[in-house]
Structure 1
Amino acid sequence: MVLLFTPKHQKLVNQCYPSGRTTDKKPKSSETSYLLYYVNSRRTKLEKVSSFLARKSTADLNHRRIGNISVTLELMDKIVNHCKENLNVFVRDFLQIMVRILSNNNVNNDASVVENAERTFGSICRLLDGALCNGDADFIDSFQAFVNLYFQVVTERLRDDRLLLKGCTDISTVENLALNPQGSILISRAVEYALTKFQEKNPQYRVQSLEATGDLAMTKRLTRTQTQTVGLDDLINSDDYGIEALRSFFNTSETDKLTLSIKVLLSVLLKTPNQKLLQFICNGIPVHLRYIVILIFIRQLQQDSQHSVVTLKLISSLLVSEVSIVGLSIIDVMRKLLNTQTMNGISKEVSNQCATTIGDLNRKTYYKDQTSDMFSEILIRLKDNRNSAYTDSLRRDLQELASSTFTPSLSLDTYMELFPFLDEPLKLFNVVSKTLTGSFSISKLFHVIDNLKSPERQRDFMSAAFEKYRGIALLAGLKHYLDFDETQKTCYFFYHLEAANFLNYSDYQSQAKYKQECGDHFTQENLLNYYSDLGSNKYSEKGKQIILSRETNVSTTDLLSNGNHTHSTGAEGSGKLDHSLKVPPPLTQDFSRIPKFALTSDARSLKSLKHSSPTVRDLKAARGNGASHLKRQTVSRGSQSVRSHVTNITFLLSELGDEGQESRIVDPDEEEVFGMEKSDLARSESLKLHNIVFKGSKRLSIPLKLQEDGDEFQDANEEFQVTSTRGKLFTA
């Protein structure tokens, strides 16, 4: 009679249990399949089955039916995997069942029962979503209660590390569990268990190991270089549950879970500092998220000053290691280190370690102007009067940056600003870039050398300037020391000695030594003698322009490049010089007699000349002074556009005729032109073609060589067929 009134869901569940009281029971396969089909048909049936399983498990526990408990756990695991869409319907009942099982002393010492409970719990964790974890307080309480009970059973009663690590891995598979405050506690606890068990299995990660970064033979490397250190991601071994547990927490793109895991890692490392463990774990973190490790460690400095030195050493060990880190904000990290260094009450040991870490931060190149930006950041703080008490610490930072810079990349302008704060300026000069942004910086460098008090420092700096900038230092120094000044007397002779060595002129070198002993200076003729031979001195042409440019103030930048103010000494250092750059010839004549419309500077263009076109009175005055004299003086100085204009003026003056003979300029608007011979027409056409060629050459930037003496106009070799002579006189 009882069976006639038993509900169908109860009969289906009871049919899955085999008879007998053995402990290794398994659910019947065919009956279990039909039960799964039954619970998938309606949601209400699933609720009835879960409630009945809860009552049956309680009865089995009271009667110590260990075999039935194992069958119940396996049925629960199958229902979870087949009814995952309705997991929220029965998951609370299932958690309550597993809590009762692990709380019962009759079964919680049975490893097979606990293992079945872990398997069911793992299936639940893999299918949980963040909405259920964060939206249901009762569920998260049940979840936390089971996890705490599970950890207690496997650590205290069973002492099974395998089940412990499997439970930690199960927790890591829950999505967005770190967003819940209670869930974040579980994650932190699981990570700590995983790290502890990994250290116990690998003793090399349990000892204190923090090497001094200053003893490492480092070279500056790009962070995209592949890492050679064996890391967490390199060990693919499914049998090692410790590796799998660590990988599940650290090799993830879920930043909230990763942040919690890194914080636990830091707490473990503060107890037993081991840089190998840090590098091993960081190699398992996705490359684009490894910078989070540095940020969390930096944040720890402000929260826990007691372990500041250990934290800074851990940061340094990671920065100088082979671990690839991308996306790290160098300046932001440096500012936090500087803020820590300038905190009130900070110890000298922490301050020195901050400086070391700043140097280690510069040992890898993350972007092009990184080193220059780091020096500029320290410069800003040195200029701030509020940091006057920390000047010594900031100078120590400069020394660490200089020692960690392996490729000269500091701009000369920044170096000039840092110069007053340097204890050993020549040491920092070695990291200055060879690239210049203009002639002002190199000129300022020579002024700084002049103001040095020690002659030995002046000599060393002059030698370093020539070694770094070579031809640029030669020409810029030639202009700087062109006039002998008693205040620059020492540097004046140091320059000429270095210039003689650079040019490899023994006569120049002996003269420089002799004049240094006598206190005499080089005359203009002496210097021109050393810059007169283009074959032996490739800088002769440009040097000559500087020597002869006292009144015109020729720019060193113009002598070094053609409109580009960024110079590099690479070509000069290799013995090659760009001779294609054209420099205007020197000016040695007296231009006091040139009329006001004549150009007096090569900087004027034809466009500016249009605003000061000569009048007839000016032409007559110039004609009285001699057209050939005007032409010779103006053409020797003007640019191509100026020479063309002056040539046309000269032609007009020649057309005015001699003083004794009166000539008439025919108006081109007249209907007929008289007095024009065929040779005159050909001369006019020749002038027209000459100007067309000249204008085209100007557009192509091809300099034209103008004749200094003699008549510049020649008759055409061929006769031209001219149909009309109207306006031919002014076509050119």
Structure 2
Amino acid sequence: MGLLFTPKHQKLVNQCYPSGRTPDKKPKSSETSYLLYYVNSRRTKLEKVSTFLVRKCNADLNHRRIGNITVTLELMDKIVNHCKENLNVFVKDFLQIMIKTLSNNNVNNDIGVVEKVEQTFSSICRHLDGALCNGDAEFIDNFQVFVDLYFQVVTERLHDDKLLLKGCADISTVENLALNPQASRLLSQAAERTLIKFQEKNPQYNIQSLEATEDVPMTKRLTRTQTHALGLDDLTNSEDFAVEALRSFFNTSETDKLTLSIKALLKVLLKTPNQKLLQFICNGIPVHLRYIVILIFIHQLKQDPKQSVITLKLISSLLVSEVSIVGLSIIDVMRKLLDTQATAGVSSDVSNQCATTIGDLNRKTYYKDQTSDMFSEVLLRLKDVRNSDLTAIFCRDLQELATSTFSPSLSLDLYLELTVFVEDPLKLFSVVSSSLSGSFSISKLFHLIDSLDSSEKQQKFMSATFIKFRAIALLAGLKHYLEYDNVNKKCYFLYHKRAARFLDLSDYKSQADYKSTNCEQFTREDLLNYYSDAGSNQYSEKGRRIIMSKGSNVSTTDLISNGNSHINDNDHIAGRDLSVPPVLSQDSNHIPKFALLSDARSLKTLKHLSPKVRDLKAVKSSGALNPTRNLASRGSQSVKSHITNITFLLSELGDEAQEVRIPDPDEEEVIGLEKADLARSESLKFLNVASKGAKRLSIPLRLQEDGDEFKDANEDFQVTSTRGKLFTA
């Protein structure tokens, strides 16, 4: 009679259980399908079913019906997968069932029952939303109790690593679990347990291994596009549950979960430092998120100063490895390292390791001006620091940057600022770029060479300057050492010896050795002799302009441009005294206002000072622009061409005494038609061409003898259409 009054949801649930007391029971398929249809119809029915399952589970546990417990867990798993939209309705009841099952000593040692518990828990985690975790404190408490109990059972009672790793992977699948401050602890613990089990299964990752960065082979400069070593992302078909669990924690784009997982990794590495494990895990992180590893490790320097050396070595090992990292803010990381060095009470070991890490940070190129920016950052610290100890520390950083720079990329201007703080500037000179933005910097470089206190250093520095800057060093040095009294005497002869070797002129070499021995100065005539032959010296023209003019009159562009132009045959000078001819007449009464004041004057300047006819006539009469005069020593080729054109125009002007009358363009006749005039009417085109064409011509032209006579427009105008009549009305 009792069954007649049993509610329908209880009947449907009881019908799913097969009879008997065997432990390997399974729910009936047809009855289970109808039960799922029933609970999907209304939310209230789903709540009734979950409540009844709690009561039935308690009764089965009390009577040790292990088979019925297995059926209950399978029914729960199917309900979770089919009713995931209403998971919040029954999930707390299901957690209560699983907690009671694991707490019962009669069943918690049965691995089959625990596997069913893990299967149901996995389904719950896959469909669980983080919003439910954040909004229901009771659910969070039940969830934490179950996770702690589950790990206790599988580790202490069953000693089953497979179930342990499956439970860790299940926790990692919960969306936005890291956003909850309470539940995030479970995620960190699960990641740490997974890493420890992976180390136990792979002993090569469970030993202390931190190789010094100096021992790491760096035969070529690493870039972010280089192929990475074998890592977590390469083991896609691995049957190891530890690898699958690690991939669930680290191969994710959810930054909150990834951050907690990396912190767990750092915690494990601080106990057993192993750079291979770090590189293996980082290769499994999405490439655009790997920079988070560096940022978290850098942040750890303040959290745990005692472990700073190990943390810095781990960072260095990752930076010099083949792991590709993109999006890393080099300057921000470097500033953190510099701040660590400047912290009061920091040990020398930490400071030295920071310098090593800064050098390792520079071993990969992430953007074009990276090295210069890093040098600039150290320079700013050196300018602001007042403590001598910090100055020595930052100078050590400069040495590490210089050692780790493989391609010269430091600007000469920045190098000259750094030389104030460097004991041996020559060591840092190797990373200076050979490109220059002007000749002022290299002039300062020769002043630096003059200021060195050792002749050996001066000689090495002079040779290095010629090797790096070549022709620019030749011409800039020639300009710098023209004034013998204002420069270092030793450097004066060192320059000329090195210049003779660069030009490969035997006479120049012998004279440089002779004058160095007798401490005699090169005269301008001596130097002009070496720069007179364009065949043996391709820099003859530029060199002669430097020698024959004052140093301030040589343009920067001439020094840094290519010096392959040759001088004219008329300008050839060999073994005779030279006098510099003036560019224009030296008579102050006949110097026109467009005259060149120096050879640095360009065509652009002449364009602004265009001469008038009377100025050209005055110059022609004074003979200042005679084309036969020697102008090779003054001005560039473009200036000489411009003067030649002016001279040609002067010859066209005729004799000075003859008055040249420039006729009015309106008085001239027209000889041709413009294309634009063809669209005009037949009666007006000759009149317009005659007035406009004559104004465009600089020299008036004569009309042909058989041309039409000039007529008034009114006489030739004819009305040929209605529109014309309107205009003439």
Regarding TM over 0.5, the answer is yes
Structure-1 separation of matches of 2:652 and 2:193: 100
Query: Which of 588, 592, 601 is the equivalent residue of 2:586?
Result: 592
Structure-1 separation of matches of 2:108 and 2:78: 22
> Any residues of structure 2 matched to 1:243-262 within 5 Å, and which?
243-262=243-262
The answer to whether structure 1 residue 519 and structure 2 residue 512 are counterparts is no
Q: Secondary structure at the match of 2:55?
A: helix
* AA of the residue aligned to 1:230: L
The answer to whether structure 1 residue 461 and structure 2 residue 474 are counterparts is no
The answer to whether structure 1 residue 317 and structure 2 residue 310 are counterparts is no
CA 1:173–1:621: 2 relative to 1, 3 Å = closer
Aligned 8 A contact 1:297 1:315 in 2: yes
Structure-1 separation of matches of 2:365 and 2:466: 28
> Any residues of structure 2 matched to 1:497-536 within 5 Å, and which?
497-536=497-536
Once the two structures are superposed, residues 204-239 of structure 1 have per-residue CA deviations (whole angstroms, 9 ceiling, x without a partner) of: 111111111012221453433343422111112452
Aligned 8 A contact 1:631 1:647 in 2: no
Aligned 8 A contact 2:541 2:567 in 1: no
* AA of the residue aligned to 1:153: V
The answer to whether structure 1 residue 61 and structure 2 residue 61 are counterparts is yes
> Any residues of structure 2 matched to 1:89-100 within 5 Å, and which?
89-100=89-100
CA RMSD of aligned residues (A): 2.9
Q: Secondary structure at the match of 1:181?
A: coil
Residue 187 of structure 1 corresponds to: 187
Residue 266 of structure 2 corresponds to: 266
Once the two structures are superposed, residues 535-561 of structure 1 have per-residue CA deviations (whole angstroms, 9 ceiling, x without a partner) of: 222212222222222377222432432
Aligned 8 A contact 2:412 2:436 in 1: yes
Residue 448 of structure 1 corresponds to: 448
Structure-2 separation of matches of 1:449 and 1:369: 27
* AA of the residue aligned to 1:141: D
CA 1:619–1:248: 2 relative to 1, 3 Å = closer
CA 1:169–1:511: 2 relative to 1, 3 Å = same
Q: Secondary structure at the match of 1:493?
A: helix
Structure-2 separation of matches of 1:5 and 1:63: 24
Structure-1 separation of matches of 2:228 and 2:612: 78
Structure-1 separation of matches of 2:421 and 2:266: 37
Structure-1 separation of matches of 2:426 and 2:495: 17
Aligned 8 A contact 2:250 2:258 in 1: yes
Residue 147 of structure 1 corresponds to: 147
* AA of the residue aligned to 1:108: N
Aligned 8 A contact 2:541 2:565 in 1: no
- Please identify, of 482-491 and 374-383, the stretch whose mean Cα deviation from structure 2 is larger: 482-491
Structure-1 separation of matches of 2:551 and 2:112: 101
Residue 229 of structure 1 corresponds to: 229
- Please identify, of 437-446 and 535-544, the stretch whose mean Cα deviation from structure 2 is larger: 535-544
Structure 2: stretches of 5+ with no match in the other structure: 572-578, 669-695, 710-729
CA 1:553–1:667: 2 relative to 1, 3 Å = closer
The answer to whether structure 1 residue 668 and structure 2 residue 702 are counterparts is no
Aligned 8 A contact 1:129 1:176 in 2: yes
Give the C-alpha shift of residue 23 in structure 1. Answer: 0.7
The answer to whether structure 1 residue 424 and structure 2 residue 417 are counterparts is no
CA 1:619–1:260: 2 relative to 1, 3 Å = closer
CA 1:42–1:595: 2 relative to 1, 3 Å = same
Aligned 8 A contact 1:210 1:274 in 2: yes
Q: How many residues align?
A: 660
Structure-1 separation of matches of 2:586 and 2:500: 38
> Any residues of structure 2 matched to 1:62-461 within 5 Å, and which?
62-461=62-461
Once the two structures are superposed, residues 499-552 of structure 1 have per-residue CA deviations (whole angstroms, 9 ceiling, x without a partner) of: 111111222111100000001111222212212222222212222222222377
Structure-2 separation of matches of 1:299 and 1:503: 56
Once the two structures are superposed, residues 55-75 of structure 1 have per-residue CA deviations (whole angstroms, 9 ceiling, x without a partner) of: 100000010000000000000
Aligned 8 A contact 1:474 1:499 in 2: yes
CA 1:276–1:667: 2 relative to 1, 3 Å = closer
Aligned 8 A contact 1:606 1:642 in 2: no
Aligned 8 A contact 2:228 2:324 in 1: no
Structure-2 separation of matches of 1:213 and 1:161: 36
Once the two structures are superposed, residues 560-613 of structure 1 have per-residue CA deviations (whole angstroms, 9 ceiling, x without a partner) of: 32xxxxxxxxxx8xxxx654999x999622731242334124526587677685
> Any residues of structure 2 matched to 1:560-575 within 5 Å, and which?
560-561=560-561
- Please identify, of 225-234 and 164-173, the stretch whose mean Cα deviation from structure 2 is larger: 225-234
Give the C-alpha shift of residue 187 in structure 1. Answer: 0.2
* AA of the residue aligned to 1:511: Q
- Please identify, of 639-648 and 521-530, the stretch whose mean Cα deviation from structure 2 is larger: 639-648
Structure-1 separation of matches of 2:630 and 2:375: 51
Once the two structures are superposed, residues 288-307 of structure 1 have per-residue CA deviations (whole angstroms, 9 ceiling, x without a partner) of: 00000000000010111111
TM-score scaled by length of structure 2: 0.85
Structure-2 separation of matches of 1:318 and 1:405: 18
Q: Secondary structure at the match of 1:306?
A: helix
CA 1:656–1:287: 2 relative to 1, 3 Å = same
Aligned 8 A contact 2:224 2:365 in 1: no
Structure 1: stretches of 5+ with no match in the other structure: 562-571, 658-662, 674-691, 696-715, 727-732
- Please identify, of 443-452 and 599-608, the stretch whose mean Cα deviation from structure 2 is larger: 599-608
Structure-2 separation of matches of 1:551 and 1:442: 14
CA 1:250–1:444: 2 relative to 1, 3 Å = same
Structure-1 separation of matches of 2:388 and 2:705: 86
Structure-2 separation of matches of 1:266 and 1:170: 22
* AA of the residue aligned to 1:378: V
Give the C-alpha shift of residue 134 in structure 1. Answer: 1.1
Structure-2 separation of matches of 1:591 and 1:665: 25
Structure-2 separation of matches of 1:6 and 1:45: 14
Once the two structures are superposed, residues 109-137 of structure 1 have per-residue CA deviations (whole angstroms, 9 ceiling, x without a partner) of: 11000000000000000001121111111
Aligned 8 A contact 1:222 1:366 in 2: no
CA 1:437–1:610: 2 relative to 1, 3 Å = closer
Structure-1 separation of matches of 2:665 and 2:231: 96
CA 1:720–1:478: 2 relative to 1, 3 Å = farther
TM-score scaled by length of structure 1: 0.85
Aligned 8 A contact 2:617 2:650 in 1: no
Structure-2 separation of matches of 1:387 and 1:54: 72
* AA of the residue aligned to 1:350: V
Structure-2 separation of matches of 1:534 and 1:228: 54
Give the C-alpha shift of residue 53 in structure 1. Answer: 0.6
* AA of the residue aligned to 2:210: L
Aligned 8 A contact 1:223 1:364 in 2: yes
Give the C-alpha shift of residue 621 in structure 1. Answer: 6.4
Once the two structures are superposed, residues 122-173 of structure 1 have per-residue CA deviations (whole angstroms, 9 ceiling, x without a partner) of: 0000001121111111111111111111111111111111000000000000
Aligned 8 A contact 2:96 2:142 in 1: yes
Aligned 8 A contact 1:409 1:433 in 2: yes
Q: Secondary structure at the match of 1:350?
A: helix
* AA of the residue aligned to 1:316: S
Structure-2 separation of matches of 1:472 and 1:610: 31
Aligned 8 A contact 1:381 1:387 in 2: no
Q: Percent identity?
A: 68
Once the two structures are superposed, residues 245-288 of structure 1 have per-residue CA deviations (whole angstroms, 9 ceiling, x without a partner) of: 11100111000000001111111111111111111111111100
* AA of the residue aligned to 2:505: Y
Structure-1 separation of matches of 2:113 and 2:556: 88
